[in-house]
Chains A and B, each alone.
Chain A
Amino acid sequence: MHFLLSYLYEFRHQKLRMFLTIMAVSWGMANIALMLSVGEGLYQMMSRGMTGMGEGIVVMWPNQTSMTHNGFGPGKPVRVTEQDIHEGEKLPLVKAISAEYSGWSVQMKTADKNISKQVRGVYPCYGVMRNLIPERGGRFLNTLDEERRRRVIFIGNEIRNTLFGEESNPVGKTIWVNGSPFTVIGVMEKKFQTSMYSGSDAQASFIPASTFRTLFNRTYVNIVLLAPESKENSKDAQEAFRSLIAARHRFHPDDKELFHNWDTFETQEMQDKIFRGLQLFLGIIGGLTLLIAGLGVANIMYVTVKERTREIGIKMAVGAHPLLIIMQFLLEALFTVSIGGALGVAMSMGLMALFDLVPLPETFINVMGRPEPVFSGLIALVCVTILNFVGLMAGIFPARRASLVDPVDALRYE
């Protein structure tokens, strides 16, 4: 009761200063919370975008030889065949492997539409590797499709939108690909994809590799998609496949240039590093703001205690235990910091809500999705703890000093 009274009194008489402290604390708090939250949101968004292309895969482009071997000079193109891929499937470190044949501007026709888009011939395992999830009511290519060279097609969601209209379910309908009728078996669920090597999956269509080879008269794969057993043996798996190709094609066994590889493990790791760095940077800026706020609290606590030396003197003169005096000031510091902290959290929540209302360019949202700041309880806890600690430190020393003087000295203080 008494504590609250004197706190309110203090508040009334030090309106401006108390207001400033609370603002400083809440501002620091909001700052750090916002920065860390936005950083975390960005990170999560980027990770999602990255995994849109599939996780734990290596994209391998056949290249050309760089060493002389068996009488052939360098510059011989590497041509990977269906048979090579099937041998690759037997390698122990390979979890899955798929050929990818690409046709860039392939005519796709329905009764009333006619477009030119990318069509890829792939294996059934490609769907899982590349994170192509069918919408409800549809499916991805399966082994029977592959074995029987079925004329079935799995289309990207934007292809569906163009050919059949948004939200429609074209499963069972027919698309004429290069003049041949294909039955739609599934539509890719809309996904957030920032990584890509041959255009957005939403703008592509997928047919069985076997069908593709016949239709387009192909022998060599454009791309080999390899999923190693684990992150740790990714390099070994790539090397195993490269050796296999070198042996089968009689290239120099040490020719490292047979493929251009894109290892998503590496990309993921690099992206992780970049964003952890960004997070750290934002955290440091937020932390500095918080520190400044903390110094503000410290300063005010210090001045408060000094100005209230007389009050301390009076209380001690009528018999207050010295510890009680210290407790009072600590409670006050905690109270101020807590109010400021709570306000700060409310402020950052409000700002995050506002963030949702900011009009972002349509295309940005379409490609990236809406970035959501992620506020974690841990962030809040850390901020509040730091602030309380600073407030306590700021209050405890002057309060202790005040409670250590004899009442006469405290009373003499003007």
Chain B
Amino acid sequence: MISLNNISKKYNMGHVTVNALGPVTLTIHKGEFVAVLGPSGSGKSTMMNILGCLDRPSLGEYLLDNTPVHGFSRTKLARVRNMKVGFVFQSFNLLPFATAYENVELPMLYAKISGKEREHTVKHLLEIVGLSDRASHRPAELSGGERQRIAVARALANNPDIILADEPTGNLDSKSGAEILNLFEQLHADGKTLIFVTHDENLASHAKRIIRLLDGKINQDYTQN
């Protein structure tokens, strides 16, 4: 379902070209639970951003559900981000002026989901992440762990098959981090495809497949028990 073929990302910095990623060739099937590890600067975020259609590769092919999204227009990519993948950031990236409820609702507004259905879904998602009682709180009134759970709920809004998370626990204490991972395991059990970046070997051990990056290339890629 996810297929990267010789994907690379280069940055032109004056006369030097920085090779941030690749070439990377990789296939991830539906329902997989993948942890991406690697030292700082190894290209993890770069790869995740390309997978999440937040960024476009310099070279290579990206097939998402057999559709070549690497050539998509900005408008089409917006639609992919809206419907097909949910992205969870290290720094949450919630709208500060909107309530938890409204933040979760946002992707559905863009998908033009009816009001009734939105309400039903938001309530359901807040329940899943255990924050039904925080619906009317703004991000500033929530703890880090709670913010990240709202962000996960938002990622699930349009019921995408794929959830991508770039160091979702990076800004959290270990207890909150464990809660997020719990959520992920639950989503994995529900059949979602999960890919998350972490520096924490312990958290990575919960995943079924480990991909280790080094200098923008896949160094190790293996499945564990």
Which residues of A are at the interface with B, using a C-beta cutoff of 8 A? 2, 5-6, 8-10, 310-311, 313-322, 324, 404, 406-408, 411
Contacts and interface: CB of A to CB of B under 8 A. Distances in A.
A406 B110 contact: no
Contacts of B79: 319
A310 B75 CA distance: 19
A402 to B, nearest CB: 12
Contacts of B78: 316, 319-322
A246 to B, nearest CB: 87
Contacts of A9: 96-97
B154 interface: yes
A322 B75 contact: yes
Nearest to A320: B110
Contact of A318 (B49, B74, B75, B82): B82
A383 to B, nearest CB: 31
Nearest to B45: A408
Given A322-B74, A322-B78, A317 B54 contact: yes
B95 A317 contact: no
A2 B81 contact: no
Interface in B38-70: 49, 52, 54-56
B170 to A, nearest CB: 15
A9 B52 CA distance: 29
A406 B94 contact: no
A315 B154 CA distance: 12
Nearest to B87: A317
B64 to A, nearest CB: 14
A411 B93 contact: yes
Q: Is the interface of A mostly helix, strand, loop or mixed?
A: helix
Given A319-B107, A319-B110, A406 B82 contact: no
Given A5-B98, A317-B81, A319-B82, A407 B106 contact: no
B83 interface: yes
B102 interface: yes
A408 B49 CA distance: 7
Contacts of A5: 97-98, 102
Contacts of A6: 95, 97-98
Interface in B87-109: 87, 89, 93-98, 102, 106-107, 109
A318 B83 contact: no
Contacts of A319: 78-79, 81-83, 107, 110-111, 158
A321 B75 contact: yes
10 contacts: A2-B102, A6-B97, A314-B93, A316-B81, A317-B54, A318-B110, A318-B157, A319-B81, A320-B82, A324-B110
A265 B78 CA distance: 70
Nearest to B55: A408
Contacts of A404: 74
A2 B89 CA distance: 22
